[in-house]
């Protein structure tokens, strides 16, 4: 009887040890699965930036990377918040803060990347100096991009804004001097490239210009973009200290990343941290 009990005990212990070994193997598999990541970006220059400048570097670090493209500015954050993707690239910090607050999401920008600037374009004039008195200019009808437009116009001496106004929220009511008596025509931002056909000038955000196959360098002037308007690599706040987050920052900070920007993303304005190093 003792021999039978001893044999049974050995079999139980052996099975338990095998189970533990199997558990370790499964744990190892889970750890490997953590190297599979999905990055989201809006179709166009920022999904291209993910594919050309970030995905290859992540794959060199052993990640299995999938790029998910979105056609609007809502779904990338919803997908990130739901865990359907691990990071996204498409939005500046002002949009991120507003969207997170309005939708009760905890999202964090890791690092700003070079971003296509707004430009003032014209099919009629070849330079700012040629702009005629009373010229019409199509501008974005949303407050954030409208404010950017007025700052560009002020930077180039076409208008003067109230010095007491908040730069990131200025609007037409803050225009105190309109040197060329410009006529502002607010329209939806996506229609600004087409507005060149009916207006003398059009203020086109960089992403919409590129989506319409416009050359950024064809602009009469390009925006001297504040960093608040530069796009960020974004993760959930809970994941801001993960190894993936650290690797993403390291990749964007690498000289190889900037070299790809200089070669394939001509006209993109660089964030202050990149200009200062």
Per-residue pLDDT at 212 exceeds 70: yes
Phi, psi angles (nearest 5°) of residue 11:
-65, -40
Using DSSP, state whether 158 is helix, strand or coil: coil
Q: pLDDT, tens digit, for every residue of 119-148?
A: 999 999 999 999 999 999 999 999 989 999
131 closest CA partner among 162, 159, 173, 171: 159
Report residue 12's pLDDT band, with 50, 70 and 90 as the boundaries.
very low
Please give the Cα distance from 237 to 104 (Å, whole number).
12
Q: Which residues contact 95 (CB under 8 A, 6 or more apart)?
A: 73, 144
Q: pLDDT, tens digit, for every residue of 157-176?
A: 999 999 999 988 999 999 99
- Alpha helix positions (H), 83-189: 93-102, 143-155
The pLDDT of residue 33: 53
Which domains can be identified in the chain, with CATH numbers? 36-115+228-276 (3.40.190.10), 119-224 (3.40.190.10)
Q: pLDDT, tens digit, for every residue of 14-30?
A: 444 344 444 333 333 34
pTM: 0.80
CB 55 within 8 A of CB 199: no
The pLDDT of residue 168: 85
């Amino acid at each position: 009887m003792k021999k039978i009990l001893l044999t049974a005990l050995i079999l139980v212990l052996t099975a338990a040890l095998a189970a533990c070994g199997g558990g370790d193997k499964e744990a190892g598999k889970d750890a490997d699965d953590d190297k599979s990541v999905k990055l989201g970006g809006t179709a166009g220059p920022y999904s291209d930036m993910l594919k050309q400048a970030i995905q290859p570097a992540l794959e060199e670090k052993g990640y299995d990377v999938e790029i998910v493209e979105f056609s609007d500015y809502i779904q990338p954050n919803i997908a990130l918040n739901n865990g359907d993707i691990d990071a996204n690239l498409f939005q500046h910090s002002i949009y991120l803060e507003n969207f997170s607050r309005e939708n009760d999401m905890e999202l964090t920008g890791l690092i700003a990347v070079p971003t296509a600037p707004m430009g003032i374009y014209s099919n009629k004039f070849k330079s700012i100096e040629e702009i005629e008195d009373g010229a019409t200019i199509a501008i974005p009808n949303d407050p954030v991009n409208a404010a950017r437009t007025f700052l560009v116009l002020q930077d180039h001496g076409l208008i003067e804004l109230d010095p007491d106004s908040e730069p990131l929220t200025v609007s037409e009511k803050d225009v105190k001097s309109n040197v060329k008596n410009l006529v502002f025509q607010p329209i939806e931002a996506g229609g600004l490239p087409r507005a060149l056909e009916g207006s003398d000038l059009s203020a086109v955000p960089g992403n919409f210009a590129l989506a319409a196959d416009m050359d950024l360098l064809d602009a009469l002037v390009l925006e001297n973009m504040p960093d608040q308007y530069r796009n960020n690599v974004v993760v959930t706040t809970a994941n801001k200290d993960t190894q993936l987050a650290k690797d993403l920052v390291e990749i964007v900070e690498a000289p190889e990343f900037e070299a790809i920007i200089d070669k394939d993303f001509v006209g993109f304005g660089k964030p202050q941290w990149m200009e200062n190093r």
